[in-house]
Amino acid sequence: MPDTNARRAEATTSLGKIFWVFFKIGLFTFGGGFAMLPVLSYELYTKRKWIDKEELTDIVSVSTVFPGAIAVNSAFLQGLRMRGIPGVIAAITGIITPSIIIILLIGMFLFRFTSLHIVQAFFKGAGAAITGQIAYAVYVFGRGTTLNLRTVGLTLAILVILFVFKVHPIVAILISGAVGAFIFPKENA
């Protein structure tokens, strides 16, 4: 958990700063969902120390279980934690504003140019970046996981549930959480 000085600094962080940080997260995230995790991790954990690794994992876990976009849910939780309802408004407004602007610009200009090779090549390149960001998120969150027979077994079981049985990811998360509540001793939780 961040030290008391970090908590004090975070409690006095301006709403404008919260807006700006989440604006950047929204602006530099292509692909949404899990693709935003590296940017979120960098801005909140690595660069600003607003949260520690455990809090980041908690925010992401809760954000994936609740309905709605992971980015918006994460902004809601972090904004609430930092500054209450005004923090929520600043964080959510920040994270959705770039998408709104980009969608408006696409609607106004891009569809006229979708047949151009450069536009198609850009989207292929962006698709590769999204795959890379998701792989990086797996690495970042995976390296903090204790590897033992239980965690590896549960991970493999969830992969089978997802790939073989085509279970919805939310159902897989709920199953994993329920199983985890029973197989992990209290001192390791």
> What is the residue-level pLDDT of the chain in tens, covering all 189 positions?
455 545 555 668 999 999 999 999 998 877 667 778 888 888 998 899 999 888 888 888 888 878 778 889 999 999 999 999 999 999 999 999 998 998 888 888 777 788 889 888 988 888 888 888 788 878 877 777 778 888 889 989 999 999 999 988 888 888 988 998 888 877 644
Per-residue pLDDT, 37: 82
Model-level pTM?
0.63
First to last CA, the chain: 15
Sequence-separated (6 or more) residues with CB below 8 Å from residue 133: 30, 31, 34, 35, 36, 37, 38, 39
Q: Domain residues of the chain, as ranges?
A: 4-144, 146-189
Per-residue pLDDT, 5: 46
Cα angle value 43/173/178 (rounded, 5°)? 125
Dihedral sign (CA 61, 169, 98, 40): positive
- Neighbour tally for 80: CB within 10 Å: 14
Per-residue pLDDT, 90: 97
The runs of H, that is alpha helices, within the chain are: 4-11, 15-27, 37-40, 53-65, 70-108, 117-143, 149-163, 169-183
Q: Are 98 and 60 in contact (CB under 8 A)?
A: no
